[in-house]
Chains A and B, each alone.
Chain A
Amino acid sequence: MMRMIILILLALIVRVTGVNAQSDVTKLSVTYEVHYQKVEEVAKREKDLMRLDIGEHSSQYISIIGEFLTKNKSDIMAKRIKDPYAGYATLRDEVFKNTPNEGYLRFVHMPGWVSCREKIEGLFDWQLLDGDSIVCGYPCHKATTIFRGRTWTVWYTLDLPYSDGPWKFCGLPGLLLYAYDSEDKFRFNCIGIEKGDGHEIKMKMPSSGVIDTYMPERVAEIMMLEYWDQSAHLSQITGLVAKVTGMRDAMGNEIKLIPQTRILYEKFPGINLKKKYSKNKITKKKK
């Protein structure tokens, strides 16, 4: 009897202090145009389209192009519809805040399903600045922060009092509509705000059901490896010894396999790919 009561109580407790947050629906959708420079070696500015879906207690920052490609994969393969996002180069990074764990955000890098988990409270240390502007028709205030090697200047609006923004940004009293870094390598620009259509906010999972979770610094290292040494990167994410012999882009043109230095949102001084991954060495890396 006692055991039953304890079990029931336990079940209730687990239900109440649920590790998994309840499912959430989109209340507000904010579209951002992201301008960024992909690698140090090429000065070209690329464009990406991302959407921040904000729900009652969680949010997801996902790729619009990725969503479109997934939904219409068969039509695109059969060339029945034209690519409306020609000229965009998607980064394939997504951020989920307060889901699946409340109080934490998940950053997921799609190629390889590599992710990290970070505590939201105290993640960004914001300094408020003087300055008003209007972005997307909303009056905004200015703030700045130094986060992992980058100095960001952002504009947030109190008319939308969500502690949220593009990428990992959060912690301000209002929604971030515009952000850029001091080296002008990244720029997030809001181009649309609309009522949410009620679709679910849920972190994406691969078909295998397993996502590798690392520390943020390790994730950054793996992301940089993707452009530095494609063979080592493939070995890393599959766990098998692999060698990449050729790569093609979306239009079928051959891409040269040269080591390039990827520019990331965060700069970790401890990463030194040249030293760690010298060419012609294929080693098995532990997960």
Chain B
Amino acid sequence: MKRLLLSFFILIFVSLFIKAQTYAGRVTDKGGQPLVSASVVAKGDGGSVVAFARSGQNGRFSLIIPQGKEAKSIEVMMMGFGKVVIPLKDYKNGQTIKMQEQAVALKEVKVTPQRIRAEGDTLTYSVAGFKQKQDRSIADVIAKMPGLEVLPTGTIKYQGKTINKFYIEGMDLLGGKYAMASENLSADKVKSVQVYENHQPVKALKNVQFSEQAALNLVLKDDAKNVWQGVVDVATGYGDEWLRDARWLEMVFGRKKQSISMVKANNTGKDIEHEVTDLSRFEKSAPTESGILSNISLGAPSLEARRSKFNDTYIAATNWLFKNKKDDDLKLQLTGLYDRSRQQQDRQTIYLDADSALITEEQSAHSTRSEWQAELLYKANRDNHYLSNTLKGYIDFNKSEGLSILNGLPTPQRVEPRKRYIVDNLELINKLKNGKSYSIASLFSYSYLPGKLLLLDDTTQHLTQQMLYWNVYAYYLHSIKQVKATWKAGFETKNQWLTLSSRDRYSEYQPYVEPSFSYREGAWSINLDGRVSWLLRQYQEQRSQTPLIVPHLFVRYSITSKLDISGNYSYRWTPSDIATITRMPYYTNYLYCQQGSGEFEHTTGHSAGIGLNYRNVMTGMFGAISSSYNNTRDAIIYQSRLVDNVYTRQATDYRQNNEYYSVSGNLGKSIFWAKLSVSISGSYSWSSYDLLISNVLSRQHARNGRATLRFSMKPTRWLSIEEESAYRYSRQSMTRSLQSFNHQLKVFLLPGNWQIEWANELYHSNDNSVSTNYFSDLSISYRTKTFETGVQCSNILNTRNYHRHYTTSYTDIVVNNQLRPREFLARVFFNL
């Protein structure tokens, strides 16, 4: 008896804890006939499925809700019948559920061959899905991929942010000079373009330091790998003079070795110099001195650059990348550029802050650029250990000569803005067990700029700049619960020398401590860092000591897997360098003279931004909106005087308070029908600043807006269209608003192996002092896989002049530029 009672109590006791609930029932049609194999589901919060069952032969089912789960409703489904939803509180255990017949409206789905595929953080764009027949280089195809943008300078952006690495088959051959590959590698050799979102190139920092930039990787077709390939492309013709455009390229992409070498020559106005320019600073690098002098630049009209460029350019480059057995990189890069350009322009400038003084100039200039660069890189990028050393050297022999007619008087110009530098960046990162890591780095540079400038009084200004920079630091990284903390300490020093008639020296010594914290969990990603430093400065006999705290915050939240929002804030305290504070007056060009206060200066500023990013790979839609605010204070306000045709800017005691707001957005969509890609972007900015007019500080406002529409499509097999339209708006408080439009329409007819390309450009504006311009080019070529030949005529209508009117913060300018005439070219191209 006792045993019976005991077991009875145990049963009750135990049953109190077994919370697994069972719901039974019977599914029938409206006539009462049992329905077999109906799906019965218990749904919890937010529609998640908590338990399920199927009705058996007699229509009966038994739904068991497991322990710990809570159900809110029971749903019964079957094809051909309407879904029955019963809230749990209304459900009677054992009840009969009658289902009503319902015509099935099936949502038919056909997934078109995916042009874009997403796997984790990697997006793969298939080149075959975006390539049009007229596309030659892989950059032409990347420009059509939604979310990606190729700027005329060659820079590639993903969702509005520049990429931080450009890989070919996973190897980083070209570093910052990736335009050499993107613009010369034929689209036929590339299988797909991959975007690595939030790419962290250093393996030892994976999951430790998070990046907000993306990287690009080209996946080559199998027959383009491990073989030597070459391209020979020669074109010649006549316009005003004998024209030439030739290219010789050699490349090989293997698993252990990659190389691209090329030689190019051009005098048809095409910009090939950007291919040997670093498009973005990828890794931490010591800065080099920016020169005060520069080659004479007469400003280009806002047409396609090649229309007003009269050049004779030669570039040569060779890049080699070797990987050893342990997968370490050894890279050598040598580039050289030689260019002779001429420019011709008439310009009328009104200086708004120098009492509306007017200067007219007729200018012509010849510039020579001779720039040579070498880079040697060794990198060991292993899972627990990263060591990288880059040694860079640069030397140039640039000079410009010009003649200007200044208010009727012929005035010769001559400037030699020469620059040489050597840079060495060393970084070592070691990952220890349990997720900690430490790093040591040294960034060093020495720049030497011996510049010469001819002044109006026939004397030559010898302006020599030198800079020695060194930043050495170490950090220790560890995790505190969910937060990754980095404790960095370092010492940064900058020494500058400016030699004119005498030698000036300015030095900065800054020991600093920079803690930073980063938290990344689920949808949140937060980065907070602050640099605390003690800045010691020395200029001539003066010394200053300033404690500084400079914080920076970045937050990102993923609202859904496709949409995320981010915000950032930072505070800047920037010491002004020797070019700003030197008491010696110096000329920046033959017309402009500048003089500083001779005292320590600095600028401070706040900047904040917020952005929204959307990407939907299934529908091929990418969009981003961002807004930013930037405030710079304490910048020197200069007083300008026009004395003897020289525009002199002298530092006053007034300080600036600049404010800048901007809103910008872009949207891109790829649509399968007719291989259509559309993108629109717009931006609007307001800025306010102070200008000193007749010794009175007056606040000015400027507004600028821009909207662009771009689309490309292929409605039939032999017809392809690319269109780009841009609208620009600009307004300053002292002048009336300026609105201009430019449109580019390219029509391609592609019957068989023939390609006929007709390009049109139209520029017009609401302002009568900007001329309406229309340009038309036609080219006919015959292309096979390995060979191409054709003829081309640029500027069919022979439009030779361009007029323009634009405004800056303190000037109002009207310009007339000379353009390239009608030109003919015949071309032959071989792909080996």
A194 near B108: Cβ-Cβ < 8 Å? yes
Q: Using Cβ atoms and an 8 Å threshold, which residues of chain B touch A192?
A: 109-111
Q: Which residue from chain B places its CB closest to the CB of A28 in the assembled complex?
A: B106
**Interface: A117 (CB within 8 A):** no
**Interface: A132 (CB within 8 A):** yes
Q: Which residue from chain A places its CB closest to the CB of B79 in the assembled complex?
A: A161
A161 near B77: Cβ-Cβ < 8 Å? yes
Known: A158-B41, A193-B107, A195-B108. A128 touches B51 (CB 8 A): yes
Q: Which residue from chain B places its CB closest to the CB of A177 in the assembled complex?
A: B109
Q: Using Cβ atoms and an 8 Å threshold, which residues of chain A touch B37?
A: 57, 163
**Interface: B49 (CB within 8 A):** yes
Q: Which residue from chain A places its CB closest to the CB of B114 in the assembled complex?
A: A191
Known: A137-B109, A194-B110. A128 touches B50 (CB 8 A): yes
**Interface: B52 (CB within 8 A):** yes
**Interface: A262 (CB within 8 A):** no
**Interface: A233 (CB within 8 A):** no
Q: Using Cβ atoms and an 8 Å threshold, which residues of chain A touch B39?
A: 158, 161, 163, 173-174
Which chain B residues in 22-72 approach chain A with CB under 8 Å? Answer: 37-41, 47-54
Which chain B residues in 72-114 approach chain A with CB under 8 Å? Answer: 75, 77-79, 106-111
Q: 1/0 per position for A153-194, CB-CB distance to B under 8 A?
A: 000001111110000000011100000000000000011111
Known: A161-B38, A163-B39, A173-B54. A128 touches B111 (CB 8 A): no
Q: Using Cβ atoms and an 8 Å threshold, which residues of chain A touch B52?
A: 128, 172-173
**Interface: A130 (CB within 8 A):** yes
Which one of A57, A132, A134 lies within 8 Å of B47 (CB-CB)?
Answer: A132
Q: Which residue from chain B places its CB closest to the CB of A143 in the assembled complex?
A: B49
A136 near B109: Cβ-Cβ < 8 Å? yes
C-alpha spacing A220/B769, complex, angstroms? 82
Minimum C-beta distance from A280 to chain B (A): 35
Q: Using Cβ atoms and an 8 Å threshold, which residues of chain B touch A136?
A: 109, 111
Most buried by B among A27, A136, A137, A173: A173
Q: Using Cβ atoms and an 8 Å threshold, which residues of chain B touch A173?
A: 39-41, 49, 52-54, 77
A193 near B41: Cβ-Cβ < 8 Å? no
Which chain A residues in 35-58 approach chain B with CB under 8 Å? Answer: 57
Q: Using Cβ atoms and an 8 Å threshold, which residues of chain A touch B78?
A: 161
Q: Using Cβ atoms and an 8 Å threshold, which residues of chain A touch B48?
A: 128, 130, 132, 141
**Interface: A138 (CB within 8 A):** yes
- Count residues of chain B with CB under 8 A from any CB of chain A: 24
Q: Using Cβ atoms and an 8 Å threshold, which residues of chain B touch A137?
A: 107, 109
A141 near B77: Cβ-Cβ < 8 Å? no
Minimum C-beta distance from B465 to chain A (A): 55
Minimum C-beta distance from A281 to chain B (A): 38
Which chain B residues in 452-506 approach chain A with CB under 8 Å? Answer: none
Q: Using Cβ atoms and an 8 Å threshold, which residues of chain B touch A138?
A: 107, 109
C-alpha spacing A143/B51, complex, angstroms? 11
Minimum C-beta distance from B80 to chain A (A): 9
Minimum C-beta distance from A124 to chain B (A): 12
Q: 1/0 per position for A70-90, CB-CB distance to B under 8 A?
A: 000000000000000000000
- Count residues of chain A with CB under 8 A from any CB of chain B: 27
A162 near B54: Cβ-Cβ < 8 Å? no
Which chain A residues in 11-40 approach chain B with CB under 8 Å? Answer: 27-28
C-alpha spacing A134/B48, complex, angstroms? 14
C-alpha spacing A269/B618, complex, angstroms? 39
Most buried by A among B50, B78, B111: B111
Minimum C-beta distance from A189 to chain B (A): 9
Q: Which residue from chain B places its CB closest to the CB of A160 in the assembled complex?
A: B79
C-alpha spacing A261/B327, complex, angstroms? 29
Minimum C-beta distance from B110 to chain A (A): 5
Known: A158-B77, A173-B77. A195 touches B111 (CB 8 A): no
Q: 1/0 per position for A118-161, CB-CB distance to B under 8 A?
A: 00000000001010101011100101000000000000001111
C-alpha spacing A130/B53, complex, angstroms? 18
Q: Using Cβ atoms and an 8 Å threshold, which residues of chain A touch B110?
A: 191-192, 194
C-alpha spacing A143/B618, complex, angstroms? 22
Q: Which residue from chain A places its CB closest to the CB of B561 in the assembled complex?
A: A133
Q: Which residue from chain A places its CB closest to the CB of B81 in the assembled complex?
A: A161
Which one of B49, B109, B618 lies within 8 Å of A158 (CB-CB)?
Answer: B49
Q: Which residue from chain B places its CB closest to the CB of A33 in the assembled complex?
A: B111
Minimum C-beta distance from B301 to chain A (A): 49
Q: Using Cβ atoms and an 8 Å threshold, which residues of chain A touch B75?
A: 158
C-alpha spacing A128/B54, complex, angstroms? 15
C-alpha spacing A160/B107, complex, angstroms? 10
Minimum C-beta distance from A32 to chain B (A): 11
A162 near B107: Cβ-Cβ < 8 Å? no
C-alpha spacing A132/B43, complex, angstroms? 13
Q: Using Cβ atoms and an 8 Å threshold, which residues of chain A touch B47?
A: 132
Minimum C-beta distance from B59 to chain A (A): 15
Minimum C-beta distance from B651 to chain A (A): 62
C-alpha spacing A151/B54, complex, angstroms? 24
Minimum C-beta distance from A157 to chain B (A): 10
C-alpha spacing A130/B39, complex, angstroms? 19
B106 near A162: Cβ-Cβ < 8 Å? no
Minimum C-beta distance from B121 to chain A (A): 15
Q: Using Cβ atoms and an 8 Å threshold, which residues of chain A touch B108?
A: 193-195
Minimum C-beta distance from B456 to chain A (A): 71
Q: Using Cβ atoms and an 8 Å threshold, which residues of chain A touch B51?
A: 128
C-alpha spacing A243/B53, complex, angstroms? 51
B109 near A163: Cβ-Cβ < 8 Å? no
Q: Which residue from chain B places its CB closest to the CB of A130 in the assembled complex?
A: B48
Minimum C-beta distance from B104 to chain A (A): 9
Minimum C-beta distance from A251 to chain B (A): 15
Minimum C-beta distance from B136 to chain A (A): 25
C-alpha spacing A173/B107, complex, angstroms? 19
Minimum C-beta distance from B118 to chain A (A): 12
Minimum C-beta distance from B614 to chain A (A): 15
Q: Which residue from chain A places its CB closest to the CB of B80 in the assembled complex?
A: A27
A191 near B111: Cβ-Cβ < 8 Å? yes
Q: Which residue from chain B places its CB closest to the CB of A195 in the assembled complex?
A: B106
Q: Using Cβ atoms and an 8 Å threshold, which residues of chain B touch A57?
A: 37
Minimum C-beta distance from B257 to chain A (A): 22
Minimum C-beta distance from A129 to chain B (A): 9
Q: Using Cβ atoms and an 8 Å threshold, which residues of chain B touch A163?
A: 37, 39, 54
C-alpha spacing A83/B109, complex, angstroms? 25
C-alpha spacing A161/B78, complex, angstroms? 6
Q: Using Cβ atoms and an 8 Å threshold, which residues of chain B touch A158?
A: 39, 41, 49, 75, 77
C-alpha spacing A172/B618, complex, angstroms? 26
B49 near A193: Cβ-Cβ < 8 Å? no
Q: Using Cβ atoms and an 8 Å threshold, which residues of chain A touch B50?
A: 128
Which one of A141, A159, A195 lies within 8 Å of B49 (CB-CB)?
Answer: A141
C-alpha spacing A46/B479, complex, angstroms? 41
C-alpha spacing A132/B111, complex, angstroms? 20
C-alpha spacing A134/B111, complex, angstroms? 13
Q: Which residue from chain A places its CB closest to the CB of B50 in the assembled complex?
A: A128
Minimum C-beta distance from A203 to chain B (A): 20
Q: Using Cβ atoms and an 8 Å threshold, which residues of chain B touch A28?
A: 79, 106
C-alpha spacing A165/B309, complex, angstroms? 63
Q: Using Cβ atoms and an 8 Å threshold, which residues of chain B touch A162?
A: 79
Minimum C-beta distance from B775 to chain A (A): 44
C-alpha spacing A159/B52, complex, angstroms? 14
Q: Which residue from chain A places its CB closest to the CB of B106 in the assembled complex?
A: A195
Q: Using Cβ atoms and an 8 Å threshold, which residues of chain B touch A134?
A: 618
C-alpha spacing A160/B40, complex, angstroms? 13
19 contacting pairs across A/B (C-beta < 8 A): A28-B106, A57-B37, A128-B48, A128-B49, A132-B48, A134-B618, A137-B109, A160-B79, A161-B78, A173-B40, A173-B41, A190-B111, A192-B110, A192-B111, A193-B109, A194-B109, A194-B110, A195-B106, A195-B108
User: A-B pairs with the 10 shortest C-beta distances?
Assistant: A173-B39, A161-B77, A161-B39, A191-B111, A173-B52, A193-B109, A136-B109, A141-B49, A194-B108, A192-B110
Q: A128-B52, A194-B108 are in contact. List 13 more A-B contacts (CB 8 A).
A: A128-B48, A132-B47, A134-B618, A136-B109, A137-B107, A158-B41, A163-B39, A173-B53, A173-B54, A173-B77, A174-B77, A190-B109, A193-B106
Which residues of B come within 8 Å of A, CB atoms?
Answer: 37-41, 47-54, 75, 77-79, 106-111, 618
